[in-house]
Amino acid sequence: GTQGGGTQGGGTEHTHDMTKHEKQEPTCTAEGTITYWHCSGCQKDYLDPDGNTEAGDLTIPKLKHDMTEHEKQDPTCTAEGTVAYWHCSGCNKNYLDEEGNQEAGDLTIPKLDHDMTKHEKQDPTCTAEGTVAYWHCSGCNKNYLDEEGTTEAGDLTIEKLEHTPEEYIELQPTCDVPGKKYQRCSVCHTPLSGEEEISVLGHDWGDWVYNNDAKCEMDGTETKRCKRVGCVASETRTKEGSALQHDYDENGKCRRDGCGDTNGPKTPSSGGSISQGDKVIFGSYPQTEVQDSALKSTLTAQAGTLPTEQSAGKWTDYGYYYGTDNIGSEAVHSYMWYQDISYGGEKYRGVYFTSYRSYSTSDSSSASNSWQDDNGYDVGTVYWFRYEPIVWRVLEQKNDTALLTANIILDSQQYYHNISTRGSSKPIYPNNYAESDIRAWLKDTFYETAFDEYAKSFIETTEVDNSASSTQSSNNSYACENTQDKVFLLSYQDVLNPSYGFNWSDLTHDTARQLKSTDYAKSQGVWQSTDSRYRGNSWWWLRSPTLGSGNGAYTVGHEGGAYSSSGVNTTYGGVVPALRIKLSESSTPETPAGDPVWKDDHTVLFGCYPQTKVGGELKNKLTAQAGRLPTEDNSGKWTDYGYYIDGSVQSYMWYQDLSYGGEKYRGVYFTSYRPNSTTNSSSADNSCQDDNGYNINTVYWFRYEPIEWRVLEQKDGTALLMANIILDSQAYQNEYEYQQNDKYWQDGKYYTHSNGAPAGTYANNYKYSTIRSWLRDTFYETAFDEYAKSFIETTEVENSASSTQSSSNPYACENTQDKVFLLSYRDVLNASYGFSSSYSSYDTARQLKSTDYAKSQGVYVDNSGSYAGNGWWWLRSPDDYNNGNANYVNYGGYANDHLHYVHIAFGGVVPALRIKL
C-alpha cells in the first residue's frame, strides 16, 4: 500500500513498500543502526514509515570496549600459564592490547617439566611406618608414583609391623636373689607386658668333699660348694664315719702323729706282752661292705657270669637250708653263693642270692621270713665285702697262751639244721655241740677262710669243755663229751666268768657281752635289734645246750643278758668264734731258717720262703726302702727273674729281698704279664697273674715265712718231706724242643746248649730240666741258710721208668743226686706216704693250695666250687708217649700221667727233700 500521496520533488508518485528495521544498538565490536524503514520498491531507507524522510547514514558508531586487564600468568609444572591480555566484558573477547585492536588467540603458555627427586621405598618396622617408593617434584611440591609425574601419589605410608614378643630377663636370678623378667619386642625392645619375678635358683650344690681333717677318734668334716659361677656359698657338716681309726702298730700303739693311743689291738707275732682285756689283730674275714660303685662294678665284672641253681660257675654254693624236701626233712637248696677275689692288693668276697635265707632251716624262703632284706640285702644283687683283720678280745693269758674271742659278730649260722634226734641206743640230740653244724662250720669253713698257714701255726688245739658244769648245771642231760678244737664257741659258764671280763649274773645287761655285727654277717641274715637302747646289737650263739630241751642252745641276747636260748635250726644267730693262741717267742715260728720245728700235727717247719702278701703302711715303707723301680734297661737294686716271653728271656719281672723290723720280705714288680707258657706272648689273657689279683706296674710284698712240710716217711734217722703248699710257679723246661739235639743252628754256625745235654736228650728229661736246676740253684739257696742246709741230705733220686707210670717209659732218665727234688708219679700213688694208690682218685692228700707269692708268679688257681683255691703241681716223671709232656697232680688231686707240655709256666712247684733227724 501506498503511504501518503503525491510525489516528492515533482516526480511520479508511487506507494512505498516499507519494511521497518528496528534500531540495532552498537556494540564494541560492531556499529549499530538507527530505526529505519526500507522500501523494497525503491530500495531506499527512510526515517519514517511514510517515506517522508529518507534516511541518511543509518550507522550508530561502535561502542568502546569495556576492557579488564589480565596480567601474564607464568606456567608451572602442574598448570599452564597465560599471556598478558585484556578482556572486554562487552564482547567477551580477549585482546592483546587495551584498545582491542588485536584479538588474542590462544592465551595459554605450556606447563613446565617436573623437577623430580626419587625417594626409595622405606620398609616399615614395629616402631615406624614405612613409605612406598615415590618421586617428589620440588616445583609443585607434590609426590608422584612415576618419574614422569603422570600419577600423583596418594598416601605414601606403609603400616607399621606387629611387635615380635620375647621373654626378656632384666635381672638374672641367683641362688638366693630373685630375678626380673617381662615380655618385650625382640626387634625394638619395646616392653609389651608388666614386670614379673623369677624365683631364686637355689644352690647347685657340688659333691661333698672331704676336708682331710678327721682324727683317730673324731669324725672329720666335708664341705659342699655351690657350682654356680660367682656364688661362694658352702655348707660344711660332719663326715659321719670318717674318723680315721687308730693305726696301731704291732704293739697296739697308734702310729698317727699327735695321737699316742696305746690301747690298740696287738699282733701275736710282735713279741710284745699281751694281757687280759687287750685286743689282738689276728686272721682276716670278710667284714665291711664295699660302697664304691666303680670298685663294685670292677669286682662284679671280674667275678664273671652270675651263678644259677643249675650252674655255679666260678661261684661257691653256701649250701644253705630252707624249707623241707619231699620226705619232710630240712633241705639244702642252691640259692646263695660266694666268690673270693683279690684285686688291687686286697681280698674281697662277693655274695649273691636269688632267694632269701629263711629264719630257720625248716621255713620257706620269702622276704617276710628273712632278716636279709631288713638289713638292706636283696635278691638279684651282687654285694662285695672287704677281707679285714679280725679284732679279738683277750679273755685270759695263761701258760704263754691267750684265750681270744672275736670282738664282733662275724657270721650267721644255724647251730644244727634239724630238730630230730639222731641214733637210738645212744641218742644224739640236735643240741649236741660235738656233732653240731656250727662246730663243723668253725672247723672246716671259718678256720680255713680266716687263717693262712702261718697264722694257723699260732693256734693251739684246745680241749673244749662240754661238760654239764660248762652249761651252769651239774645235771644237764644234753651235755656232750669234750672236743679237741682249733676254733670253738664260748660256753654258758664262760660268759659268766668275771675273770674273762664278764658280769657273773646272766640277768645283767652286760656291755661286755653286747656285740654288733659286721656287714657280711648282716648279708647272711643275722638279726639286729631296733630298740633305741641296743640298736644294731645282735644275739649270738653259745655252745652250751639248754636244760629242758634237746632242740635248744643258750645264747647271749642283744642286750647282753645270758639267759636266753634259741631253737638249734634258727639261722639268724650270730657267730662269735673263740680260740687259744701261743704267745711265747719260743713257740712263735722264726723267720730265719734254723732247726726243723716239729708240730703236733706231724708237720715240720723248716726253712723259709716268701709266702703271705703284706699290705697297708708296711707295704708303703718297704716300697720306699726298695728305692727306684727297675726297668728293662736298668734293674737297679732289683734282680731280674729271667722269665721267658715268646721263647726267649726278656726283662720284665724283678724281685728284691729286704729286712725290716726283724723280718724278711720279698718285693715283686713286673711291667708285662708272665705268659702261661714260655713260648707265648705277654698279655693278661695269656697269664694267670691278673686272675690271681696281681697286675702290672704294681709293687707287691711277701713275708718270708717258715715252710710247712708234710712228713711222708721216717727211715734210718731221716725224714722224707714234701712242702704242704705250692710255693712257686715254674716251667718244667723253658725251651720246648731244644733238647732234641745238642746243638742248634743260628747265623750260619752251630752252637752247643749251655746245660750240656747230650745229643738225643728229650725235652721232658728231668736231669737236664730247668725246674731241677731252679730247685738246685734258686730255691735251695733262697729257702735255707747254711745252718739249715746242714740238715738236708743228698738224695739218690730215682728217675727210672719204674718211677713213672710205665715200666717201659722211653723218656725216663738216669738217677740224679739232689738236695731238693720233685716227687715222682709213683711217689704220689704210695699209700705209705699217705696218698691214695689210685691215680684217678680225687685224693685230698694230693690237693694243695698256693701261697700268695706263688700266685704272684702266675700259678694256676682253680675257681670251681669243689676245688676252689687249689692249684696243680709238677711231678718229675716224664710222660710215656710224648717227649714234650711231663706228669702232674691236678687241682682235684688226680694224678694225671700226661697232658701238660713242659714249657707250661703256670704249674705249681712242690719241693721235696730228706732231712737228718
Alpha carbon distance 356, 368 (integer Å)? 9
Task: Give pLDDT tens digits for 842-858.
Answer: 899 999 999 999 999 99
- pLDDT of 745 reads 38
Task: Please say if the pLDDT value at position 422 is more than 80.
Answer: yes
Residue pair 833/840 in contact by the 8 Å Cβ criterion: no
Task: Please say if the pLDDT value at position 273 is more than 80.
Answer: no
Compute the residue count for the chain: 917
Range list of β-strands (E), 793-860: 795-797, 816-818, 820-821, 848-849
Task: Give pLDDT tens digits for 441-500.
Answer: 999 899 999 998 888 988 999 999 999 999 988 889 999 999 999 999 999 999 999 999
Task: Please say if the pLDDT value at position 583 is more than 50.
Answer: yes
- Lookup result for grid cell 659258764: 493
Task: Please say if the pLDDT value at position 586 is more than 50.
Answer: no
Task: Please say if the pLDDT value at position 739 is more than 60.
Answer: no
The residue type found at 715 is K
Closest C-alpha among 583, 532, 575 to residue 556 = 575
Q: How far is CA 688 from CA 208, 315, 570, 863, in A?
A: 39, 18, 41, 12
At 168, which helix (H) or strand (E)?
strand 165-171
Task: Please say if the pLDDT value at position 730 is more than 90.
Answer: yes
pLDDT level of residue 763 (50, 70, 90 thresholds): confident
Alpha carbon distance 25, 14 (integer Å)? 32
Burial class (CB in 10 A: 0-12, 13-18, 19+), 311: exposed
Strands 67-70 and 873-878: unpaired
- pLDDT of 762 reads 84
Give the distance from CA 575 to its chain's centroid: 33
Q: Which is higher by pLDDT, 736 or 914?
A: 914
Average pLDDT over residues 226-249: 89
Calculated CA dihedral for residues 276, 279, 281, 282, nearest 10 degrees: 30
Residue pair 152/135 in contact by the 8 Å Cβ criterion: no
Percent of the chain with pLDDT over 70: 92
Task: Please say if the pLDDT value at position 906 is more than 80.
Answer: yes
Residue pair 269/249 in contact by the 8 Å Cβ criterion: no
Task: Give pLDDT tens digits for 187-224.
Answer: 999 999 999 999 999 999 999 999 999 998 899 999 99
- Lookup result for grid cell 704249674: 907
Rounded to two decimals, the pTM is 0.46
Percent of the chain with pLDDT over 90: 75
Residue pair 912/720 in contact by the 8 Å Cβ criterion: yes
Q: Which is higher by pLDDT, 264 or 446?
A: 446
Task: Please say if the pLDDT value at position 249 is more than 80.
Answer: no
Residue pair 486/477 in contact by the 8 Å Cβ criterion: no
Average pLDDT over residues 167-175: 93
Residue-by-residue DSSP string for 521-545: HHHTT------TTTTTEE-EEEEEE
- pLDDT of 742 reads 42
Closest C-alpha among 263, 299, 269, 273 to residue 283 = 269
Task: Please say if the pLDDT value at position 271 is more than 60.
Answer: no
Average pLDDT over residues 5-34: 77
Closest C-alpha among 705, 725, 702, 728 to residue 597 = 705
Backbone phi, psi, residue 409, to 5° = -75, 120
Task: Give pLDDT tens digits for 338-360.
Answer: 999 999 889 999 999 999 999 99
Q: Evaluate the CA torsion angle 534, 538, 539, 543 in order and state its sign.
A: negative
Q: Which is higher by pLDDT, 556 or 901?
A: 556
Q: Which is higher by pLDDT, 342 or 424?
A: 342
Q: What is the mean pLDDT of the chain?
A: 89
Q: How far is CA 791 from CA 504, 705, 784, 915, in A?
A: 54, 18, 10, 5
Task: Give pLDDT tens digits for 770-794.
Answer: 999 999 999 999 999 988 999 999 9
- pLDDT of 495 reads 96
Backbone phi, psi, residue 428, to 5° = -110, 110
Alpha carbon distance 267, 638 (integer Å)? 30
Task: Give pLDDT tens digits for 50-65.
Answer: 999 999 999 999 999 9
